[in-house]
Amino acid sequence: MKRVAIMQPYFFPYIGYYALIRHVDEFILLDAVQFIRHGWVDRNRILKQGGGFHYIRPALQKKSHTDAIQEVLVDNTQNWQSRMISQLDVYRRRAPNFHKVRALVGDILSVKYERLADLNQATLRGVFEYLDQPFNCELFSSSDLRIAPPATPGEWALNVCRAIGDVEEYWNPINGRDLFDEQKYREAGINLGLFEYKARSYAQGEEAFESSLSIIDVLMFNHPEVVVDMLNDFSVHPAGVIDQ
């Protein structure tokens, strides 16, 4: 019996995303849905000099507002990789792992991916390899899964679980709980779990802690064994308990 989670492919996401991947048997990157600008698929946040944060992002080719994530292409005619790596210099004097993490990001970005979805999958894989942790994360568009058309956003996950087969539990971040009809999952023999990550603070070289930044920030200030331990900072609630 399997535990499954499904999310859109994010760009160097925050640590809770990695925690969810680490604690399921199969993680599907749902790239068949519409690409939405100003989300986490094509950007994330790191510290900014003087406090606060700014965004890191890949350059993208022109796209239609109806494009699916799997159709969005990276613009490799621009030298966005070097620009992004230079943005990491804000960590040079304050982060103990600056050189290792800068090299990690440089290695990931040294491969010029055509599709944004493939790039994002590579960022996830690279971090798990750095942490020496298993990685079981597949793009929906590259899989052999054939699903029934979902009638609601919450049915994407249900139909994917049915296509995978032998799924006992489906976990979803707790902030998306309103999308799901627990009764449908129960009828399909699947337990719906609401995943709540409890982020811990850590020293960032500033008085105020800037939370929910990219995993890059976490790696800069915490050694790999500490980050692996941080992946356990979560709880899972039965959907029916939360709804009461």
Q: Are 221 and 191 in contact (CB under 8 A)?
A: no
Task: Please name the residues in contact with 131: beta carbons below 8 A apart, sequence gap of 6 or more.
Answer: 224, 227, 228
Average pLDDT over residues 42-70: 93
**90-149 pLDDT tens trace:** 999 999 999 999 999 999 999 999 999 999 999 999 999 999 999 999 999 999 999 988
- What values do phi and psi take at 171, rounded to 5? -110, 135
CB 7 within 8 A of CB 24: no
pLDDT band (50, 70, 90) for residue 240: low
Hey, where are the domains in the chain?
Answer: 2-243
Which burial class, exposed, middle or buried, applies to 55 when counting CB atoms under 10 A from its CB (0-12, 13-18, 19+)? middle
Contact 37, 60 (CB under 8 A): no
User: Which pLDDT belongs to residue 88?
Assistant: 98
Global pTM reads: 0.95
Rounded-to-integer distance, Cα 40 and Cα 29, Å: 13
pLDDT of residue 3: 97
**pLDDT of 243 over the 60 cut:** no
| Pair of tokens at residue 17 | 């995303």
Q: Residue for token digits 């970005």?
A: 109
CA-closest candidate to residue 33, choices 171, 147, 162? 147
Q: How far, in Å, CA of 59 to CA of 151, rounded?
A: 33
Q: Compute the average pLDDT of residues 56-73.
A: 92
SS3 state at 238: strand
CA 43 to CA 61: how far, in whole Å? Answer: 15
Q: Are 121 and 139 in contact (CB under 8 A)?
A: yes
**Among all chains, which residue has been given the structure tokens 């597949």?**
138
Mean pLDDT, residues 46-62 taken together:
94
Distance from C-alpha of 206 to C-alpha of 204, rounded to nearest angstrom: 5
Token representation of residue 153: 């956003």
Classified as helix, coil or strand, 141 is helix
pLDDT, one tens digit per residue, over 133-192 is: 999 999 999 999 999 888 888 899 999 999 999 999 999 999 988 889 999 999 999 999
Mean confidence (pLDDT) of the chain: 94
